[in-house]
Structures are given as structure tokens and as C-alpha cells.
């Protein structure tokens, strides 16, 4: 499965594991690389020092390429970029900010740059800013989602039509049928999140993984629509926030109620009632916890079978 993305990143398979807070740590990122894809560390939980250590930990587990996702709103973003360049990381995805800020510097250092977008207008802006790839993230995805709420089915081809550079589809992808669909829509790789949490290598808490296994496809909800929309699995926290939103409570009141550290509460401490269980709608289709290598092999096999089935459609 060669595409412009596999060429660009020097990887065997067009399957990426997105940078997920507390989840996309060295063991998962390295395992995805070792399986032929590309994993990304999640910059948004690190200082320059702890990111450097996590990069080293990843390198100890793989000699394959990997990347770092840096949300530009994260205060130490600039320091993280210095570490990334110093440590010779090959790929950086930026999000939640302007791609103009760091793209030239990163590209000068020989790093491939992608930017995450929720609509076609921003995709065109990113291309203008010189990024190498666009990550088009549909609203069914887990974690931070855009105010726009455009789904992968529409977003992927709309973004592909708006740019010439290759596009990576994200949001709602966890089986080979969805990978084949993403390619049909014009993507040249997929970025998968939630499905990779339900793996042996992911360091997230067992309770969090169990919450994904238990969820139905209707089991997630977007909270924080007034300030920072996040898709997460329904629980005590999300129901309370939804109720406050329905009552017209202000963004400040809701943010004060939520407080800090709710993702860590769920992901690290395992309190999946009071923590923020960030996961996508694909949770409803995830029924097992498997090693990354087995998962990636399954995904490729399913994709192949799906594309063969499609080929038969016009033959009869």
C-alpha cells in the first residue's frame, strides 16, 4: 500500500496512531512504528525535559520513524519544537493554532510537517503555509473536536478537493472497512486513535480500556461546546456538564466545575466516572484488547478484503 504519505514518512503502511493524551506514550508509539505504521507522541502533556525523556524511551523500543503531535495552545510548544529538532524527530503534527508559526523552522530542520484541520478553508490555508500533509479530523473522532462538527464522510473529500498535498483522514476509523472508505474518500493514509487505546501496549488505565469495550456507537457525547468541545464517553462527569449546558450555564461556570486534570483522572488514575474519557464513536465497534502488531495486520487484511469486494461490484 504505497501512497504519497508512506513515501513522505518512509513507512510501510499508511496507518498512523494519533497523539492521544496519556495514551500515545513510548510503548504504543514504538509498537505502531514496529508494525509498519507511524505513531505520534502527544506533546500536550510534556515539558521540554519530559518530552526529551519520552523520545529517548521511544527510541529504546524502535528504530522506526515516529512523530510528535504538538497542540500550539500548549504553553511550552516553542520549547518542545527545540527538543524535537535537537532529537532529530522525523514528523511533527501541529494543531489548535496557526501552521505559519513553526512550519518554516521545522521544515528547515528536515522535519515533515502536518497540521490538523476541521474544514476545507483551513486546509487550504495550511497548504499555503507550506505544510507537507493535512490531517482532516472528522467530528466523530475522540478528544478535542472542532466547533464546526463536520464528519469524516464529508470532510475528507472536501479537504482533498481544497488542496494538492496529501490528506490523512481521521475520525471514526477502526476497522478495515473504514480504512477502505477513507481511501475511497481521497485520503492517502488514516490516523487512528481510540482503536489503538484498546491494545496491550497502550499505557492507559485498564478501566479506560474497559469503558471503550463497553461503549456502544451511541455512547459518546461532545461536551464543552461553549469553550472547548471534547468527544468523550458518557459518564457522571459528562452527564453533569451536559445538564449545565442545557440549563444555559456560562462557559466559566462549567469550566470551574470541571477544574483541572480530568483527563488524567480517567486515563492514568482509572476513575472513569469522574474523569474525562476521551474516545470516539468508533468505541462502539471495539470489542477486544490486542497487541498492536496483530491489530495492524488485521486492519490491513480487512482493508484488502474490502477493496477486493468493491472490485466485484461492477463486474456482475
Binding site for its own copies (CB under 8 A): 1-3, 118-121, 138-140, 148, 150-155, 157-158, 161, 171-173, 175, 177-178, 180-186, 216-218, 226, 246-249, 280-282, 284-285, 304, 306-307, 310-311, 313-314, 316
The DSSP 8-state label assigned to residue 96 in this structure reads S
Smallest Cα–Cα separation from 100: which of 74, 73, 138, 127? 127
How many other CB atoms are found less than 10 A from the CB of residue 49?
Answer: 11
Kindly report the backbone phi and psi dihedral angles of residue 186, in degrees, each rounded to the nearest multiple of 5, phi listed first: 115, -5
Report, in Å, the least distance between residue 187 CB and its own copies.
10
Report, in Å, the least distance between residue 205 CB and its own copies.
24
Distance CA 95, CA 72 (A): 6
Distance CA 150, CA 172 (A): 12
Between 234 and 269, CB nearer to its own copies = 234
Report, in Å, the least distance between residue 229 CB and its own copies.
12
Distance CA 12, CA 223 (A): 37
Between 43 and 157, CB nearer to its own copies = 157
Between 1 and 290, CB nearer to its own copies = 1
Between 73 and 310, CB nearer to its own copies = 310
Distance CA 214, CA 205 (A): 15
Distance CA 308, CA 314 (A): 11
Between 107 and 177, CB nearer to its own copies = 177
Report, in Å, the least distance between residue 244 CB and its own copies.
9
Report, in Å, the least distance between residue 101 CB and its own copies.
23
Between 14 and 44, CB nearer to its own copies = 14
Q: Is 275:264 a contact under the CB 8 Å cutoff?
A: yes
Report, in Å, the least distance between residue 309 CB and its own copies.
8
DSSP per position, 10-79:
T-SSSEEE---TTTS-HHHHHHHHHTTSEEEEEGGG--HHHHHHHHHHHHHH-SS--EEEEETTSTTHHH
- Phi-psi category of 155—alpha, beta or left, where left has phi over 0 and alpha has psi -120 to 50? alpha
Report, in Å, the least distance between residue 306 CB and its own copies.
5
Between 20 and 181, CB nearer to its own copies = 181
Report, in Å, the least distance between residue 18 CB and its own copies.
16
Distance CA 252, CA 254 (A): 5
Report, in Å, the least distance between residue 217 CB and its own copies.
4
Between 121 and 257, CB nearer to its own copies = 121
Distance CA 267, CA 209 (A): 9
For the beta sheet containing 143-144, the strands, ordered from the edge strand earlier in sequence to the opposite edge, are 143-144, 230-233, 220-223
| Burial of residue 1 (number of CB atoms within 10 Å: 0-12, 13-18, 19+) | middle
Amino acid at each position: 500500500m504505497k501512497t504519497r504519505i508512506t513515501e513522505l514518512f518512509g513507512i510501510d503502511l499508511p496507518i498512523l496512531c494519533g497523539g492521544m493524551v496519556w495514551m500515545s506514550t513510548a510503548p504504543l508509539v514504538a509498537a505502531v512504528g514496529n508494525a509498519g505504521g507511524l505513531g505520534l507522541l502527544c506533546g500536550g502533556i510534556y515539558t521540554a525535559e519530559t518530552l526529551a525523556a519520552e523520545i529517548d524511551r521511544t527510541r529504546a523500543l524502535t528504530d522506526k520513524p515516529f512523530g510528535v503531535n504538538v497542540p500550539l495552545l500548549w504553553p511550552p510548544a516553542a520549547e518542545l519544537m527545540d527538543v524535537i529538532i535537537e532529537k532529530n524527530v522525523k514528523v511533527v503534527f501541529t494543531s489548535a493554532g496557526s501552521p505559519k508559526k513553526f512550519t518554516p523552522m521545522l521544515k528547515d530542520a528536515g522535519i515533515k510537517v502536518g497540521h490538523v484541520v476541521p474544514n476545507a478553508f483551513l486546509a487550504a490555508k495550511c497548504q499555503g503555509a507550506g505544510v507537507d500533509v493535512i490531517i482532516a479530523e472528522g467530528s466523530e473522532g475522540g478528544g478535542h473536536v472542532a466547533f464546526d462538527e463536520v464528519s469524516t464522510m464529508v470532510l475528507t473529500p472536501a479537504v482533498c478537493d481544497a488542496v494538492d498535498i496529501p490528506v490523512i483522514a481521521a475520525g471514526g476509523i477502526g476497522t478495515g472497512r473504514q480504512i477502505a472508505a477513507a481511501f475511497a474518500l481521497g485520503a492517502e493514509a488514516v490516523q487512528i486513535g481510540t482503536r489503538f487505546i484498546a491494545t496491550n501496549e497502550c499505557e492507559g488505565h485498564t478501566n479506560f480500556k474497559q469503558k471503550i469495550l463497553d461503549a456502544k456507537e451511541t455512547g459518546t457525547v461532545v461536551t464543552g461546546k461553549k469553550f472547548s468541545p471534547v468527544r468523550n464517553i458518557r459518564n457522571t462527569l459528562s452527564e453533569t456538564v451536559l445538564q449545565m449546558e442545557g440549563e444555559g450555564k456560562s462557559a466559566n461556570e462549567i469550566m470551574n466545575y470541571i477544574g483541572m486534570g480530568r483527563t488524567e483522572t480517567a486515563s492514568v488514575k482509572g476513575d472513569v466516572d469522574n474523569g474525562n474519557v476521551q474516545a470516539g464513536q468508533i468505541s462502539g465497534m471495539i470489542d477486544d484488547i490486542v497487541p498492536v502488531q496483530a491489530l495492524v495486520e488485521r486492519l490491513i487484511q480487512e482493508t484488502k478484503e474490502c477493496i477486493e469486494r468493491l472490485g466485484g461490484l461492477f463486474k456482475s
